[in-house]
Structure 1
Amino acid sequence: MTSLFKNVTIVGASGSIDNILLDGLFASSQFNITIVSRVSPNKLKALFPQNVAFLESDFSKVGLEAAFKNQDLVISTVGAMGFRQHEKVVDAAMHAGVKWFILSEYPNDIPADPILGLFEFFREKTPMVCYVQTKEAEGLSWTAIAASGTFDCGLRNKFLEFDVANRAATIWNGGDKNREITYKKEPTQSVVSILQHPEEARNRCYYVHSVEITQPEMLAAMERAQEAKWTIVDTTTDTQVGEASKKLETGDASSAFALIRATATAFGNTPDLDAKSRSKKTV
């Protein structure tokens, strides 16, 4: 299938989430890919295929517009520290004549008011889609991908609090709520699918997940795989959020991980934050 996109620029692309999203894009031979990053190309080249081009940028307006010239699509993988610059990236793409923008809404969107009040990072994500929507009338099309927590990486970096090596699992709120998890291949397949079927994805946010599962079900699967019993640590959302909020007040940014994990569990009386309850545009 012929794609509307040939020249694709990726902004950021130096983190683990970026590789999860873009592996399928790198594997395709139908796109000319350029990575724009603050990181020196010499440090990035070992992480990506040889057919990828690199541009080091200071992320100034002039620098970004030059990087986006003659590009059909810009994919933002800007992380938490760069969310405040997102409007500048969108504006530069528009001024450079870019047709389409895929924005950094992954790994998940944060729709609920109680959660928005927890952490500045969550609040900064909210205006991103709103801002790019204002550019539709000026000719910029966009797509956002909100993928739930990645199972593969979440086990490896212990974000899911399932410690495989030590056979220990932290269970939130009794573990009776379904949690969405996404296997590594799903987000990257979503990016490629959007590029192949752009009209279906124009000006929409897509929610992606592979399976819904409870923490006890995950634990049972791990015990079967290892043929051994695991140690269980019980906790609650109230406990985790309370402790994390106190740490935030002292400037301890490590507490952010607990707050992000809280978005995947029951939050007080807030309904489950699953994709189906958020939007009919789930894929």
Structure 2
Amino acid sequence: MSIKNVVLVGADGVQVKLLSDDFSIDELVPALQDQDAIVSTVYGAQVDLQKRLADAAIKAGVKRFIPSDFGSCDSQSKRAMELAPIYIAKSEVRDYLEKLAKENSGFSWTSLVCGHFFDWDLGFFHIDLKAKSFEILDDGEVYWSTSTFAQIGKATAAILQKPEETKNRFAYIQSFRINQNQLLKAFEKTTGESWNVKKYDSSDYVKERKAKADGGEKSAVEDLVWVLGTLEADWEAREGYANDLLGLKQENLEEVVARIVKNN
């Protein structure tokens, strides 16, 4: 299998074919002709759109589908599905891709699981650079995997360059494996200041935020995703850990933090 032509759905700023999210399957097929792979970066809860894309991909002869399974935690996790409905949606898409791959020998999928987007939004990590405040769950010693956007891009490209090794499987990646205390120290070292720290009991925090999420508070859902990606996202021991397979090097935490501080 050789993958050379790629369609990216749901993003801009790159030299690839872009597709709208309101096309029917028959309208999508011509746009996917002569393409080898689809990378979906649409919102993960857009189940129907991704299913339509997959159906159109089969008709167009697309070989590989990378769904919008990126992000903070493992969408296979029952705990994740209990706390954040988006992971139910992601699992539904992946189950559909698995079904299509079994029925169509020329079609395959890869789910890239990268942990929290490390250089996306400090507020999501409950870090306030201006106020020098940092929130920690429990004792801050639980290790978790996280990736920069650059690392995620490299991983995506590597998956497409190794289609046989990465077909019909999860690929767990990271830029580094850290705990919250290490991250706090990196920010304190970079800024040259001591930070204000607030600690939460994770059980109490989850209970309180879940109640608010069930009441429709969007920020509470994001907080639950933060918890999942901080307490249940250590990829190194997972079956499917793929840094070595994909040729990904660990990044330097202090260097990345320094860059984030400089840019903020």
Give the TM-score normalised by the residue count of structure 1: 0.78
**1:99 maps to which residue?**
63
- Check whether the contact 1:103–1:144 (CA below 8 A) recurs between aligned residues: yes
Cα shift at 1:264 = 2.2
Matched, 1:205 2:165: no
Residue 18 of structure 2, aligned match among 20, 25, 35: 35
Match of 1:275 in 2: 235
Matched, 1:83 2:47: yes
* Residues matched between the structures, number: 240
Shift of 1:281: 4.0
CA contact (8 A) 1:275 1:282 kept: no
Misfit runs of 4+, over 6 Å: none
Q: Using structure 2 for the length normalisation, give the TM-score.
A: 0.83
Matches within 5 A, 1:241-256: 241-256=206-221
Deviation per CA, 1:146-173: give whole Å up to 9, x if none. 1111221132xx1111111211000111
Q: Percent identity?
A: 28
Structure 1 unaligned segments of length 5 or more: list them.
20-25, 27-31, 39-57, 267-271
Choose which of 225, 228, 234 in structure 2 pairs with 1:260.
225
Distance in 1 (CA, whole Å) between partners of 2:176 and 2:189 is 19
Corresponding residue for 1:4?
2
Letter paired with 1:200: E
Is residue 39–residue 66 contact of structure 2 (8 Å, CA) maintained in 1? yes
Distance 1:135 1:110 in 2: 19
1:110 and 1:12 mapped to 2: Cα distance? 20
Contact 2:9 2:41 (C-alpha < 8 Å) held by counterparts = yes
RMSD over aligned CA atoms reads: 2.1
State the match for 1:126 in structure 2: 91
Unaligned runs of 5+ in 2: 244-264
Q: How many Å separate the matches in 1 of 2:183 and 2:137? A: 13
For residues 197-234 of structure 1, the C-alpha deviation after alignment (integer angstroms, 9 at most, x for no partner) is 22222222100101111111111111111111111111
Secondary structure in structure 2 of the residue aligned to 1:9:
strand
Please identify, of 203-212 and 4-13, the stretch whose mean Cα deviation from structure 2 is larger.
4-13
Residue 249 of structure 1: CA displacement? 2.8
1:143/1:81 CA distance change after superposition, 3 Å: closer
In the TM superposition, 1:133-212 aligns within 5 A as 133-137=98-102, 138=104, 139-155=106-122, 158-212=123-177
